[in-house]
Chain A
């Protein structure tokens, strides 16, 4: 099942990339209209949505763990944290590449870029907590990570969504206007969401087996 989903995600991703570079191609910046650099948005936008969704999964799993003390929720939170960190890295790296091509800057302290960096830092600290070898029982460690997961998520709506409501100079001066562009974006988004779901599934299974082996 997982293989089928992974293959499907890969095919959809390739299709999205093909559309992005052909029929749905976004014209380059005014200085260099032939450049394909703006098309990195087809990876950037799905990446950012997946990073946020992974954080939401992390929140739900953390709350569920604190309420039920069932280790399966802790494992799901760990998997969502790891996959979310990957997508947050993709979000920041592709954003920096786009920013460099569009405004000539790798990074500047605008609301959008600050909040994306904060999101990345929150994920990384979550992973540090996970791997820090905290003393105490497994339940205690899981409890600490769940509490951090919940508190960290509170930062997300406070800064991430509010930043999107504020006028920001670093807003691209184009949109996905044509139907082909929108179709390429939707395909890319479905493919990336499938990647994220399968990766979380895979990591959950690996972590569950690891926990079982440690117990034996």
Chain B
């Protein structure tokens, strides 16, 4: 157990330190995210009343596309001079490698969120007021979902960027629906009388939306952890 923990810590620290020193992916993610948010904000000028509706969608779009950039990089460094084989030859459980890589991805996405979320709140004049904890919870749940799927598929060697994008996006599509509605509820963008009808029958309240996200995260994280061994070994 202690050995697993030490291996986990070593892989996590190695990846985080490499990223923070080289700054390979974070600046690109932030610029891409800001550009997406900025373009959608300009589009909102046509209907200023819709900022509370477009804002959460803009946040998830920026988060998804920038998040995929982080995922692409997750195993790219390991491909260099076949470092991945060194990692796999080490007496470390593949599940531990997956969890360490997953945490690295979650941390990088959290740093991205710390920068992009205030920009979205400012641009779209959104105010989470006294529901800051709920906002952090929803973002973290979305973060874990994208990291789990992204880490598994980026481990599949030589995955091209565009292919990784569609694979991650299509698998995450069902989770993005409650994720978007959770933020819409949070920012009060959905009128009370509409809750429970149409697409909202899915996610009639903030709690239901968060429940769906927790279920998705749990199922996908466990499944990805179990399948990771097959993804990295020939």
Give the interface centre of A108, A121, A169 by most chain B CB atoms within 10 Å: A121
User: Does the CB pair B199–A111 fall under 8 Å?
Assistant: yes
Residues of A in contact with B (beta carbons under 8 Å apart)? 66, 108-111, 114-115, 118, 121-122, 125, 128-129, 132, 134-137, 139-140, 143-144, 146-148, 150-152, 154-155, 158-159, 163, 166-169
B227 touches A150 (CB 8 A): yes
A125 B157 Cβ-Cβ under 8 A: no
Residue B202 contacts which of A111, A139, A147, A152 (CB distance < 8 angstroms)? Answer: A111
Contact A155 B174 (CB under 8 A): yes
Check B171–A169 contact: CB distance below 8 A: no
Q: Are B167 and A148 in contact (CB under 8 A)?
A: yes
Residues in A with CB closer than 8 Å to B177 are: 114
Whether B227 pairs with A147 at a CB distance below 8 angstroms is yes
Q: Are A163 and B202 in contact (CB under 8 A)?
A: yes
A137-B234, A151-B224 known; A144 and B156 CB under 8 Å?
A: yes
A209 shortest CB reach to chain B, Å: 26
Contact sample, A vs B, 6 pairs, CB 8 Å cutoff: A129-B167, A139-B234, A140-B157, A152-B170, A154-B219, A155-B174
A144 to B154: give the CA distance in the assembly, Å: 11
Is B201 located at the chain interface by the 8 A CB criterion?
Answer: yes
Bound together, the chains give a CA A196 to CA B9 distance in angstroms of 50
A121-B173, A148-B167 as given contacts; A114 in contact with B199, CB under 8 Å = yes
| Among candidates B157, B198, B201, B219, residue contacting A158 with C-beta atoms closer than 8 Å | B219
The residue on B at minimum CB distance from A137 is B234
